Structure 1
């Protein structure tokens, strides 16, 4: 993969701010003509730097106001156990983020649900039924201080 230059980084900052911005507007803002700008965007997409485009949906306005953060410890950290856990989590739409961690816990995940009862159902019907889970600690977000979709690339 090629190294990102200053223009690539400006393009990325603009696309992250507004993915629907027209190529000619991006080109104007980064000091290129539309064709070279479109070519750079295609290369960023091809190289996987731009992984896709999505709408940012307000979780509260779609009836999913609760964010639960679950720290998971597995009984063992064998490759097979880690893979089994990852495959299961990938199937659960309630889990919007999941990270393999260092430290005392193996995974940290964010689960979005409509209420505490829905989290209880998720916990009882999915997470606790997964083989190899030794312990689960859950914390609930009281409010969101900051949320950013954009990476600080520029």
Structure 2
């Protein structure tokens, strides 16, 4: 994520938000720790706390920072099985793709839903208590006639640039 931010800042197009070195440094630190206090952020970036606060506000108002999220250890909550389920929508049902994605995103076991290009249309991150619950989720929620095919891949571990 950090390298992508730096590349985007260097190659900003006219219709994109332009980031300078300070904005890029702020985003880099926030990716590492979104809960960093403003004074510590300012010190790490080498600016005054008031400048850091103003820059953060501008990044939020421009939409570059969409929000702050907790990184939850799902296994500690008993959700020991995570999977990425790729879904192919029948060609005759493509007009329902967003509707299906929104429905799936509202289900308890679903962490995230992505609309994709390529040979699959949706990618769904699912977390469940057990392999049986994962099987039940797939059987109960992915049997829509609009769905042509699914492929479920278990997630063994996640690597993160953030921290």
TM-score class normalised by the smaller sequence? 0.7 to 0.9
Q: Which residue pairs with 1:106 in the alignment?
A: 121
Alignment of 1:134 onto 2:142:
no
Deviates more, 1:97-106 or 1:112-121: 97-106
> Which has a greater percent of helix?
2
Question: CA RMSD for the aligned pairs?
Answer: 2.0
Q: Which residue pairs with 1:75 in the alignment?
A: 90
* Runs of 4 or more above 3 Å deviation: none
User: Partners of 1:79 and 1:149 in 2: how far apart?
Assistant: 34
Q: 1:52 aligns with which of 47, 67, 78?
A: 67
User: Partners of 2:93 and 2:142 in 1: how far apart?
Assistant: 18
**Displacement, 1:35?**
0.9
Structure 2 contact 84–125 (Cα < 8 Å) conserved: yes
Alignment of 1:147 onto 2:162:
no
**Displacement, 1:7?**
0.7
User: Partners of 1:121 and 1:149 in 2: how far apart?
Assistant: 33
What stretches of structure 2 of length at least 5 have no aligned partner?
1-15
**Displacement, 1:45?**
1.1
Aligned pair count reads 148
The 3 A distance-change label for structure 1 pair 77 and 21 is farther
Deviations 1:9-48 (A, max 9, x none): 1111112212221111111221211111100001111112
Q: 2:52 aligns with which of 3, 12, 37?
A: 37
